[in-house]
Structure 1
Amino acid sequence: MSFAAVDVIRTKRDRGALSDAEIDWVVDAYTKGVVADEQMAALAMAILLNGMTPGEIARWTAAMIASGERLDLSGVSRPTVDKHSTGGVGDKITLPLTPLVAACGAAVPQLSGRGLGHTGGTLDKLESIPGWRAALTNDEFIAQLRDVGAVVCAAGAGLAPADRKLYALRDVTGTVEAIPLIASSIMSKKIAEGTGALVLDVKVGSGAFMKTVASARELAGTMVDLGKAHGVTTVALLTDMSTPLGLAVGNAVEVTESVEVLAGGGPSDVVELTLALAREMVAAAGLHIDPSDALKDGRAMDSWRAMVRAQGGDPDAPLPVAPETETVRADRDGFVSTVDALAIGLAAWRLGAGRARKEDPVSAAAGVILHKKPGDPVRAGETLFELRTDEASRIPAALSAADGAIVVADAAPAQRELVIERIA
């Protein structure tokens, strides 16, 4: 059945509900180039402004999945479980989490992305490891899942191609924040990858796309419902992203911090969230094991090294180090009351750790190293954070972005919960 794109746009513009047939047609026609970018941009804006019913979102997601191939992971003997984060600052959790859950007996098919703006990308971080490659064929992907139990790689071109095209359009048309489009984008790829279970880490706060608990709850609930409707066991955690995770924000520096966690150390918040998500993933996969044991006894580190080697990386190779640094110090005694995630993320971006457009290169060595977190005591003259970059000319813009990011007050702030809510 064929429709006129302008009629579909008008329906949603006037707050109507799109029929299943209209959704199937418009997604397919846009993927094939029959519906123009400007027409889909208008429809995306109408969806942002007027929303979609649960039925519309479910059908839109199904149409996105149907635009490409679905991976068959039935040949993998272990139970499969994946994790998706909606993105944040210092969010390196995928790096220690994937090998940890694999060490517990699951297979983790982690299709990841690249950073854009102030949020970091898992693939960019891993590419700071000499030799590591993000692109795998479907056969390589499945073989590594079977042999190692852990894969972190880029999604293949055949997986939900409608999403790839629409994602790029949303980024340049101010429609990234549309919850129906976020949910269908994430879930179409995760369902198409063939995983049996999925744990969602939905970030809330200044460094996240979702600034309020209410909007994060709506997104999480929408995605959990989509997963369940497609036979995927799905759970979501709402987690705090008002402060960067850990002390390192960048690419190579986050790999270093992740390896520290796998070695039994690392910042307490990174360890806490890694274990919280690991426990959800292990349970969703139907396994009965405490992930903290695999972290303590070295099995997770062994799994990490095997995963890196399987994708051509050298886990023992030194990582890039930035030649230019700048230190920012406290101007008074007190306690750190806030470390603004958005400001620190923007500073890392200005230093070269992130990109403004998908085609931009990123620096492996650039980033921000925090020396203090909320609640820490501080004396005048002590280091608050350190900027690292390949080019000294980037430092002034990064300093401007980070101005006021860390606030020192007379008293320590109330402790914030890292895991805010669980939705299943």
Structure 2
Amino acid sequence: MTHSAVDVIAAKRDGHRLSDAQIDWVVAAYTRGDVADEQMSALAMAILLNGMDDAETARWTLAMIESGERLALPDVGRPLVDKHSTGGVGDKLTLPLAPLVAACGAAVPQLSGRGLGHTGGTLDKLEAIPGWRAELSTEEIAAQLAEVGAVVCATTPALAPADRRLYALRDVTGTVPSIPLIASSIMSKKIAEGTDGLVLDVKVGSGAFMRTREAAQELARRMVAIGAAEGLPTRALLTDMSVPLGRAVGNALEVAEAVEVLRGGGPPDVVELTLALAHAMLGLAGIDPEADVDPAEVLASGRAFEVWERMIAAQGGDPGAPLPTAAHVETVDAPASGVLTRLDALAVGTAAWRLGAGRARKEHPVQAAAGVRLLAGIGDEVRAGEPLLELHTDTPDAVPGARAALDDGLAIGDEPAERGPLLLDEVRA
């Protein structure tokens, strides 16, 4: 059957369901360049406005997988399990989580990305470590999984190339918020990666792409359904992102905090979510986190830190080297005495981005040392004139913009306050 881009666009524009044949054709044709960017832009906007049902979304995901290769990892002697986060402020969980799960007996093939906007990217964080490299061949990934049990690296170009083209297009056409397109983008790469199980950390709140619990639940449900359709056991945890995670936001700052966690310390919220995700991942890997191994004990023992050192060294990094430090540090002081009642994740993330920790476009560089260090948390008593935050940057001219981003993000009151729960919900097939 012959298809045309105009017919596919018109079908979705008018609220019709796209057939499997239409989806297969348009994704393949766009990947090889037969469908123009302006045509795919129109289709993406039609999908944003009129949606796709579960069957359409699953088929769209499969078409993006089939646009490239699947990562054929050999048997590495352990079950493969991965985790994906929808992105947040101070979300450095992959750094302690991958070596922890590996130390508990599973293998973690974590193919990650770089940050865009106020949400940090895992690769940007790790590239703050001297010598560490993100680009690995399939053979290197397999060897590291067998020898170390964990690898965090860039996705290979052959995996879901249609998604790479479409993601860039959505970014400049205002179609990023489409839940079916978000779900298929994430799941196409994860399914093509070849893991045996997948845990999703779906962030909810001001610092997340999903601002409401309802939207996050719908995204989680869609992704779990796609996993089920493709035979990939998938679980999703909904976690709070109204407040930054931990006390460090920025690449080198977050690496340092992750190392604290791996050494048995670190902020309680980072430890709590690391352990919650480890329990979920081990469960999908067939390892009982109650009877077989205790992730909390493994973390406290230092065994996960040993895997971290080996993981970093295997990719050319020096785990003992000093991390970059910013040339310029300023504090944001408390304007009044009382209790810190508001510490908005989006405000802090935007400040870190303006200081140089993030990028506005994928091709822009980031500053390894830039970011925000939180000196107080929700519910802490503060005094007027005492530092609340530190602003780290190599470009002092960026500080006024960072301060402006924080104007409405901090509040001090008289009543007691505490952070709400971190774990909000769970979605299973």
TM-score, normalised relative to structure 2: 0.98
The answer on whether the counterparts of 2:378 and 2:418 sit within 8 Å (CA) in structure 1 is: no
Paired residue for 2:346, among 342, 347, 371?
342
Secondary structure of 1:109's counterpart equals strand
Question: Following the alignment from structure 1 to structure 2, what is the Cα–Cα distance between the partners of residues 231 and 58?
Answer: 12
- Name the residue aligned to 1:421: 425
Q: Give deviations 1:130-181, integer Å, cap 9, x for gaps.
A: 0000000111111111111100000000000000010100111111110000
- Name the residue aligned to 1:385: 389
Question: Following the alignment from structure 1 to structure 2, what is the Cα–Cα distance between the partners of residues 418 and 400?
Answer: 28
- Name the residue aligned to 1:403: 407
Structure 2 letter corresponding to 1:129? I
The answer on whether the counterparts of 2:74 and 2:142 sit within 8 Å (CA) in structure 1 is: no
- Name the residue aligned to 1:304: 308
- Name the residue aligned to 1:328: 332
The answer on whether the counterparts of 2:73 and 2:138 sit within 8 Å (CA) in structure 1 is: no
Distance 1:49 1:285, change over 3 A: same
Question: Following the alignment from structure 1 to structure 2, what is the Cα–Cα distance between the partners of residues 380 and 400?
Answer: 19
Q: Give deviations 1:215-256, integer Å, cap 9, x for gaps.
A: 000000000111111111100000000000001000000000
What is the CA distance between 1:414 and its match in structure 2? 4.5
Secondary structure of 2:368's counterpart equals coil
Secondary structure of 1:131's counterpart equals coil
Pairwise mapping of residues 5-404 of structure 1 onto structure 2 (< 5 A)? 5-288=5-288, 289-404=293-408
Question: Following the alignment from structure 2 to structure 1, what is the Cα–Cα distance between the partners of residues 240 and 54?
Answer: 26
What is the CA distance between 1:407 and its match in structure 2? 0.8
Distance 1:414 1:368, change over 3 A: closer
Question: Following the alignment from structure 2 to structure 1, what is the Cα–Cα distance between the partners of residues 148 and 196?
Answer: 18
Q: 282-291 or 188-197: which moved more?
A: 282-291
Question: Following the alignment from structure 1 to structure 2, what is the Cα–Cα distance between the partners of residues 162 and 142?
Answer: 24
Q: Structure 2, unaligned stretches of length 5 or more? A: none
Q: Structure 1, unaligned stretches of length 5 or more? A: none
CA RMSD of aligned residues (A): 0.8
Question: Following the alignment from structure 1 to structure 2, what is the Cα–Cα distance between the partners of residues 326 and 396?
Answer: 11
Q: Give deviations 1:103-122, integer Å, cap 9, x for gaps.
A: 00000000100010000000
Structure 2 letter corresponding to 1:17? R
Question: Following the alignment from structure 2 to structure 1, what is the Cα–Cα distance between the partners of residues 258 and 173?
Answer: 35
Question: Following the alignment from structure 2 to structure 1, what is the Cα–Cα distance between the partners of residues 411 and 425?
Answer: 27
Question: Following the alignment from structure 2 to structure 1, what is the Cα–Cα distance between the partners of residues 416 and 28?
Answer: 54
Question: Following the alignment from structure 2 to structure 1, what is the Cα–Cα distance between the partners of residues 421 and 63?
Answer: 38
The answer on whether the counterparts of 2:205 and 2:212 sit within 8 Å (CA) in structure 1 is: yes
The answer on whether the counterparts of 1:374 and 1:412 sit within 8 Å (CA) in structure 2 is: no
What is the CA distance between 1:73 and its match in structure 2? 2.5
The answer on whether the counterparts of 2:198 and 2:284 sit within 8 Å (CA) in structure 1 is: yes
Question: Following the alignment from structure 1 to structure 2, what is the Cα–Cα distance between the partners of residues 311 and 2?
Answer: 48
Question: Following the alignment from structure 1 to structure 2, what is the Cα–Cα distance between the partners of residues 200 and 222?
Answer: 11
Question: Following the alignment from structure 1 to structure 2, what is the Cα–Cα distance between the partners of residues 297 and 228?
Answer: 36
Identity %: 67
Secondary structure of 2:316's counterpart equals coil
